């Protein structure tokens, strides 16, 4: 039933993106697209019950963005049971990002990050949830919105939800939509909610240059685009490439909790990209609160011995209480496991 709309939507998305990336396009082209505007009041106050209230999309079911809502992708994305993730950045008129090294650029108050999770391809694509991060005067607010069966509307799901679905690899799972607090479990740093994904090192040079040309960032940040494009990265050859893939994966999938000031700070494990101390990265580090997650192994990472490394064991598990990450994962990511396994195997004992 909804197939034609989707086809149209895809066309509109392409057009909107083209306009977004080519501000120099003629006035006629711009006028033809004339996308709707975001509702700034909803971004900045209240807790809207529906995603539509924000006006982030010209066509929400089709994921066609409104004006100044720019799609982006991450070089190495967080694994989410194979969900397709559609990411958008909204910047209000007259505001822009400010480059701040290879980490998160400074994001102005009034901005929003929007991420839709979908499963299935083409006409079979089903939107599951859209998570929004709103930058308000008093800090960032994370809210989850759950799409209805008819795919016409996404409603606030403060308490989260469970959805039965089949992943791209054919695994039937109970997919977890996080509740509002669980958003903070990953996005919490030193007591505040912060964005995780759009760090300059994980954004494409081309995209940054394009939004710089539109005045949406002051310049392309130093250290941008350092993380590898994930497609194929897990199977890269050569020591440097193997390390790059694993460290990128750990930074994106683990380090939002495993770092000082975040949810798993008490573990003493710090898996950030910039961490250089092998012990902090888990090398010959004994577990502290792993419980049965240790599986009888003695160290987080044993150089040359992936099978004796707790870190890999927990990545390779889908069982609650053992599995890492604790949230947002019902299935094991074979590519992530492969990347980290090869990294540990190649380590000098």
Partner 1 sequence: MPAWAETITVAPGEGAQERLQEALILAEPGDEIVLAAGRFALTDGLSLDVDNVTLRGAGMEASVLDFSGQQGSGEGLLVTSDGVTLRDFAVENPKGDGIKSKGADDIVYHAIRVTWTAGPRASNGAYGIYPVESTNILVYGSEVSGASDAGIYVGQSSRITVRNSVATDNVAGIEIENSRNAIVERNFVSRNTGGILVFDLPDLPVMGGGNVLVRHNLVASNTTANFAPEGNIVASVPRGTGIMVMANENVWVGQNLLYDNPTAPIMVIAYPMAFDDPDYNPYPRDVTIDRNMVDEGGTDPQIEGAESLLAAFGGALPPVMWDGLSAGEERATLWVHPDLPGWSLNLPAQGEGMAGARPGPLEAPEPGPAISTENWGAGAELEARIR
* In the complex, minimum distance from the CB of residue 49 to partner 1, in angstroms, rounded to a whole number: 13
* In the complex, minimum distance from the CB of residue 275 to partner 1, in angstroms, rounded to a whole number: 14
Nearer to partner 1, 8 or 298 (CB): 298
Nearer to partner 1, 191 or 349 (CB): 191
Binding interface with partner 1 (CB under 8 A): 158-162, 174, 176, 179-182, 184-185, 188, 191, 260, 263, 265-266, 268, 279, 285-299, 310, 319-321, 326-327, 330
State how far the Cα of 340 lies from the Cα of 174, in Å rounded to an integer: 26
Nearer to partner 1, 135 or 258 (CB): 258
- Judged by DSSP in three states, 7 sits in helix
Nearer to partner 1, 24 or 292 (CB): 292
Cα 275 off chain centre by: 21
> Is 232:253 a contact under the CB 8 Å cutoff?
no
> Is 176:325 a contact under the CB 8 Å cutoff?
no
End-to-end CA, the chain: 59
Angle between helices 334-346 and 239-253 (to 10 degrees): 130
Q: Both tokens of residue 207?
A: 């995209």
Q: Tokens 């089709």 belong to which residue?
A: 62
* In the complex, minimum distance from the CB of residue 221 to partner 1, in angstroms, rounded to a whole number: 29
- Judged by DSSP in three states, 114 sits in strand
Nearer to partner 1, 279 or 338 (CB): 279
Residue 106 CB: number of other CB atoms within 10 A? 12
* In the complex, minimum distance from the CB of residue 182 to partner 1, in angstroms, rounded to a whole number: 7
Backbone angles phi, psi at 269, to 5 degrees: -90, 130
* In the complex, minimum distance from the CB of residue 318 to partner 1, in angstroms, rounded to a whole number: 10
* In the complex, minimum distance from the CB of residue 7 to partner 1, in angstroms, rounded to a whole number: 36
Cα angle for residues 173, 176, 181 (degrees, 5° grid): 165
* In the complex, minimum distance from the CB of residue 6 to partner 1, in angstroms, rounded to a whole number: 30
Cα 122 off chain centre by: 22
Nearer to partner 1, 44 or 179 (CB): 179
Closest C-alpha to 209, from 197, 225, 198, 196: 225
Nearer to partner 1, 1 or 292 (CB): 292
């Amino acid at each position: 039933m909804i197939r034609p709309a989707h086809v149209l939507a895809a066309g509109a998305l392409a057009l909107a993106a083209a306009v977004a990336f080519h501000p120099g396009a003629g006035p006629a082209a711009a006028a033809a697209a004339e996308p709707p505007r975001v509702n700034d009041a909803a971004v900045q106050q209240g807790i809207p019950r529906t995603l539509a209230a924000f006006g982030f999309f010209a066509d929400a079911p089709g994921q066609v963005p409104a004006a100044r809502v720019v799609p982006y992708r991450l070089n190495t994305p967080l694994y989410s049971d194979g969900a397709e993730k559609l990411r958008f950045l909204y910047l209000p008129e007259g505001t822009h990002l400010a480059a701040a090294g290879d980490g998160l650029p400074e994001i102005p108050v009034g901005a929003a990050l929007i991420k839709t999770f979908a499963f299935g391809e083409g006409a079979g694509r089903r939107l599951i949830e859209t998570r929004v991060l709103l930058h308000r005067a008093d800090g960032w607010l994370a809210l989850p919105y759950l799409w209805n069966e008819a795919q016409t509307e996404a409603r606030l799901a403060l308490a989260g939800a469970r959805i039965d679905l089949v992943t791209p690899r054919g695994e039937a799972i109970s997919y977890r939509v996080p509740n509002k607090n669980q958003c903070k479990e990953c996005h919490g740093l030193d007591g505040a909610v912060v964005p995780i994904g759009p760090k300059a090192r994980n954004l494409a040079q081309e995209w940054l240059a394009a939004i710089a040309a539109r005045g949406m960032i002051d310049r392309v940040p130093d250290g941008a685009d350092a993380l590898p494009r994930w497609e194929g990265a897990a199977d890269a050859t050569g020591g440097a490439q193997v390390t790059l893939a694993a460290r990128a994966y750990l930074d994106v999938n683990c380090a939002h909790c495993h770092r000082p000031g975040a949810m798993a700070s008490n573990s003493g494990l710090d898996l950030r990209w910039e961490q250089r101390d092998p012990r902090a990265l888990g090398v010959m580090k004994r577990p502290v609160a792993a419980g049965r997650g240790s599986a009888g192994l003695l160290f987080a990472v044993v150089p040359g011995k992936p099978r004796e490394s707790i870190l890999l064991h927990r990545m390779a598990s889908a069982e609650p209480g053992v599995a890492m990450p604790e949230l947002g994962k019902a299935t094991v990511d074979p590519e992530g496991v492969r990347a980290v396994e090869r990294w540990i195997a190649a380590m000098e004992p």
